[in-house]
Structure 1
């Protein structure tokens, strides 16, 4: 919940606006009060969408459908105007978190809570289906948790029997991971009530285990697994009674006829739900509800129209957690200016979100602030420090220019890589009205907690070193999460390229470590389905190394029996990768040896010794000091001048994140007001030539990074990892 902005109206349709609940590409949702004092959530559509006749027709249909639904576990519509210049819809305000936010913050829910959740949501769907409707987008983000039970919201893509969906004929409607197989348009089956039951089964499995049953990652891959693979429901029967676990699993049947009805699911869930009522949520979830309720009773005051903030500059390195006030920073020398100019940020400026009239240094306009949240005092201290330094070079180089209309600043929050401090750090950044974008965090524990917080406030947040999946299974729903590194699902392509173009391997053996994460196993499946040199009948064999064993000799002998020309270690442990390397040397193997980045650590070098020589690893980050471009040389020189050392891992990537933010905000000029949602929209429509790599995003609606030029190769040479270059340019 954030303060109203100067441009927000005082009232709308007889409702007094109190605060912003969220803002994104479709519009803004406000907390408001009706004439009788009742709080409502008021959804206002953005003007550009309201001007689209098809979108307006869809919104009109949403209003009509939602007004006809009055079940207890559905959120009632209290008022609407689909014909207004800015169409709006008011619903009862539910003072509770979404299921997605609760699971991301607290983890999986207890079995009795899941039973109540299933019973109430199944009842809601029974009423929806009895009205002749299909919701079509049942997912954790559309389920709110209240004291007396859950609420199902958002009927924006609901459809009645015989109605035509207002979208492209080949579009997939809904959210991958919660779509039934028939909704992917692969099977050709009609989308009907069983599709909602499938989605509810996915929701209940997610609430019970904390995992999506069909995984996360690239939407196309998720849809493929939904249609062709069995769901991951491991652990379901360890939490739930067998009958309840069984009916949830039955909801995930591929064919609609194999699923229970919503009424049947409700009956089974109610048998284990007990009395439900206000005691249905665990204590931690109750605290989330209480927090929402308290904030609704005391909304923040409207932002003033012409605030004049204090001068804001970058604090010194190593200051740990910084308070909101900041000292002015000294501009760095000409080499840093050259770094910015070479990397395409010649006119980089940042706008504050609530500073229509403030000013910074004389003749340079107001100061604009970027937040950086990172683990600066825990196990990721070195990586975090490198990212902070890269960001500071980009910002200070901008401030050294004399012709810029804005000064830039960096405010840093140390979250120690832990959930509790991470939430506090995020709330401090969100509470700072000068912050217009956030870089970080860089630990999965922190990301899972803060991603929903930033998404709820439409704050653009940039993952530099983390993968999108590190923010939790629902991170793909965020429209403001910007991932500027190649995703884990892309890591097989550098390996495939190297083995095909450089090693020319026609027979490749994969030693698959059973201890490896699922992303590595996914890469193995991709290499099997599309092997190196597949156009000349290249072949791949897979040999699994059990997790409990540490001696790779037997597995390696089996792998080498097929006389492969290359061996891939598909694992994440540098120690186990070293054991595999030693076994290959002992067996006399002389061919190419390839591994994945998680194993590319100093432990691999020390444990493998001479057996490490020649190994090649893929990685999503560059070694900028080894690159030959003008921008890379300038950035390296600036880093050496300021810090007395070459840039560390992920430093250049953080530098480029600042450059991307600056390039986007430059387009808004000196506009007095700018929302975080507008910044995020601009990011995904942008491209940027960075020091580390070009940054461009897919235009298929996923907002994912175009990863083709974002992966690199390293080789062990004389006991060190030597940078080879971008994978598609290595010869």
Structure 2
């Protein structure tokens, strides 16, 4: 980015200009920030084009068509105005490195990187062509390299396929060296999707060799060689040569389509490698740029007519009546299965009797599938938070909740994400509550510029760069975090010999890192041994006998199945093992019967007395045992008498309550105009809140949520999972009061 020049406007279309990103034949591109805080690349068309009414008509038509584009590898058009004296369009800003910068500064890219680049650019162009558009300027400067893949930008000169050009017939539009022969000859009627494929071939050849396929030099020379000579492909990987030659053939009808390009490049994998697609040092450079963008100043808003009240810092500041919170003074709809299905506080006016804006937060949850107990608990926590916020008479806006059920199915979760992403009233999403297809879901929300705030999904399932700098915010520690086990076995009940009962093979959890971390850092400086359980066996007897014979002082069950953990508990009990027994969070996963009966913990039900004394490490608290959550627990019990009851059978209800109020605090700040998509993530990453379960905040250096305060312990006592508190508060069983 370069500084603004004298004569550059301070703002365009209500967006404050921050600097220049570049200038080209069609106009100047600025980096700008909207009043809601979203960063955009704003392109202003040059005066000589703006003076042509025919050009304005085409510009309006094209920007309307480009706004419909929604492919993951395309940068969406967010706004445009073809009617002002200097027409402009705005797209989401991607803080990446252009392909031109990458190759000019660091040389040709590896073959695997070129393949991923080609697969995803072909997919982007397929989306463009499906809308009846032709990009017409596919070149390295219009390809941005982001950590999760490339983005195709600049649709300012795209035009409808088959429509006669409204500009002069002898005008060459595009970039010499990357134009198709029909473009180089200004044969407007011949320009179509095959022209973009030719340009894509030029881009891939440039990325693979570090050189222009039709040479450098004058514009006229480049155009002549494009029309009359063969490309120079020396140095390109041999496996890519057939495809490059096919793309760069002079006859448009002989070029492959985008689907054929993808198939030829993908190694049989439609999207190629998911992560780590860029060679060093490019990821580091991109990360630095992203960090610089986060540090850019907010726009200076115009003075408001009257100061807007700040969002309430906490519900305890001035506690509204419980009648208002529970919806007794509101419109309430109850679902057939029981429980509060909708709470909307009567009236949408706040402040001093004036109208306040409405913001909708989506809740993406499994409400009827295998993890419905977890999803329903989070829905209830979210509804209580919305009711609490809306009950404040001086609230700066009104919240609404849009709930969508994915049934715990990956395919349905993708459709839910698309539906919420298409709803322009939604400014942020809580969820999904499960792990099914979460990376694909996160990508869909990121494409829609919609922040995804996950309370319970496993952090390990999400791309690390997406969590640090993308649109996903994860408000929990890793469920396989070893710190809870290491601290408990190293400081609370010291174990100098710990045995891992490794049951990962049975449930396909081979990548779970819990066992590896405990083996790498043995508790109390002692030793760790592992006893794997065959995937096809339910007999834990031999392992239990081996544990007892080894003289081990502690056992850690490494697995995700409550039922198999119960088999292990019973086998250890029969073998007479009386040492410390620990398990990770999935072992306490609750189950809600389909008939709406009482929620239960299968591990406790199936292990029976053998579960006594087991300690489980979780990332959620029991609100019924936290003094700070006393009012929340009372409101939950009165508003939702049907299962799941608050406690271990309703995990993450309190955490979701805290998360929604954290999002609310980021939506409106004093003296700004409210959020826009693309700005809420940045707002969230600078937000902090003293939640009822734990403090919520982000590390300013990494941009990631600080998880350490959110690790808790439960101990089974007389058939119940008893909350012991935060990990740092843990004491040996003999030091605790009973009951």
Q: Which residue of 2 aligns with 1:613?
A: 612
> Which sections of structure 2, spanning at least 5 residues, go unmatched?
1-11, 50-54, 67-73, 78-94, 111-119, 128-138, 154-192, 211-232, 248-255, 272-326, 337-341, 590-600, 732-739
Contact kept? 1:438, 1:460, Cα under 8 Å:
yes
Q: Which residue of 2 aligns with 1:484?
A: 475
Find the partner of 2:434 among 443, 452, 461.
Answer: 443
The reply to whether residue 393 of structure 1 matches residue 384 of structure 2 is yes
TM-score normalised to structure 2 length: 0.57
- Provide the rounded CA distance (Å) in 1 between the counterparts of 2:412 and 2:666: 30
- Provide the rounded CA distance (Å) in 1 between the counterparts of 2:441 and 2:209: 35
Find the partner of 2:375 among 384, 387, 395.
Answer: 384
The reply to whether residue 141 of structure 1 matches residue 167 of structure 2 is no
Give the superposition deviation at 1:518: 4.5
Give the superposition deviation at 1:396: 1.0
Q: Which residue of 2 aligns with 1:7?
A: 14
- Aligned residues between the structures: 500
The reply to whether residue 594 of structure 1 matches residue 591 of structure 2 is no
Give the superposition deviation at 1:139: 5.5
Contact kept? 1:510, 1:541, Cα under 8 Å:
yes
Q: Which residue of 2 aligns with 1:531?
A: 522
The reply to whether residue 634 of structure 1 matches residue 622 of structure 2 is no
Q: Which residue of 1 aligns with 2:40?
A: 28
Q: Could you give the per-residue CA deviations for residues 295-329 of structure 1, whole angstroms, max 9, x where no partner exists?
A: xxxxxxxxxxxxxxxxxx99856669xxxxx9953
Contact kept? 2:442, 2:471, Cα under 8 Å:
no
Give the superposition deviation at 1:613: 1.1
Contact kept? 1:143, 1:150, Cα under 8 Å:
no
Q: Which residue of 2 aligns with 1:329?
A: 345
Give the superposition deviation at 1:516: 5.0
Shift in alpha-carbon separation, 1:613–1:274, aligned structure 2, 3 A: farther
Contact kept? 2:620, 2:712, Cα under 8 Å:
yes
- Provide the rounded CA distance (Å) in 2 between the counterparts of 1:727 and 1:605: 22
- Provide the rounded CA distance (Å) in 2 between the counterparts of 1:591 and 1:67: 60
- Provide the rounded CA distance (Å) in 2 between the counterparts of 1:153 and 1:504: 64
Q: Which residue of 2 aligns with 1:464?
A: 455
Give the superposition deviation at 1:568: 0.9
Q: Which residue of 1 aligns with 2:624?
A: 625
Give the superposition deviation at 1:665: 2.8
Instruction: Spell out the pairing of 1:487-526 with structure 2 (5 A cutoff).
Output: 487-489=478-480, 491-513=481-503, 514-516=505-507, 518=509, 521-526=512-517
- Provide the rounded CA distance (Å) in 2 between the counterparts of 1:593 and 1:622: 20
Give the superposition deviation at 1:651: 0.8
SS in 2 for 1:488: coil
- Provide the rounded CA distance (Å) in 2 between the counterparts of 1:478 and 1:98: 26
Contact kept? 1:30, 1:42, Cα under 8 Å:
no
Give the superposition deviation at 1:636: 0.6
Contact kept? 1:373, 1:413, Cα under 8 Å:
yes
Find the partner of 2:238 among 244, 267, 274.
Answer: 267
Q: Which residue of 2 aligns with 1:655?
A: 657
SS in 2 for 1:442: coil
Q: Could you give the per-residue CA deviations for residues 557-613 of structure 1, whole angstroms, max 9, x where no partner exists?
A: 333333111111111122221222122112211111111111224332233222111
Give the superposition deviation at 1:529: 1.4
- Provide the rounded CA distance (Å) in 2 between the counterparts of 1:433 and 1:540: 53
Q: Which residue of 1 aligns with 2:673?
A: 672
- Provide the rounded CA distance (Å) in 2 between the counterparts of 1:265 and 1:604: 58
Give the superposition deviation at 1:690: 0.9
> Which sections of structure 1, spanning at least 5 residues, go unmatched?
45-58, 75-92, 102-123, 129-134, 160-191, 195-261, 290-312, 321-325, 332-349, 351-357
Instruction: Spell out the pairing of 1:201-240 with structure 2 (5 A cutoff).
Output: none
Give the superposition deviation at 1:708: 1.3
Give the superposition deviation at 1:625: 0.9
The reply to whether residue 698 of structure 1 matches residue 686 of structure 2 is no
- Provide the rounded CA distance (Å) in 1 between the counterparts of 2:519 and 2:34: 44
TM-score normalised to structure 1 length: 0.58
SS in 2 for 1:561: helix
Contact kept? 1:616, 1:716, Cα under 8 Å:
yes
Shift in alpha-carbon separation, 1:95–1:403, aligned structure 2, 3 A: farther
RMSD over aligned Cα atoms: 5.3
Shift in alpha-carbon separation, 1:670–1:382, aligned structure 2, 3 A: farther
SS in 1 for 2:345: coil
Instruction: Spell out the pairing of 1:161-310 with structure 2 (5 A cutoff).
Output: 266-268=237-239, 277-278=256-257, 279-280=259-260, 281=262
Considering only CA atoms, is the larger Rg found in Structure 1 or Structure 2?
A: 2
Q: Which residue of 1 aligns with 2:728?
A: 728
Contact kept? 1:369, 1:434, Cα under 8 Å:
yes
Q: Which residue of 2 aligns with 1:104?
A: none
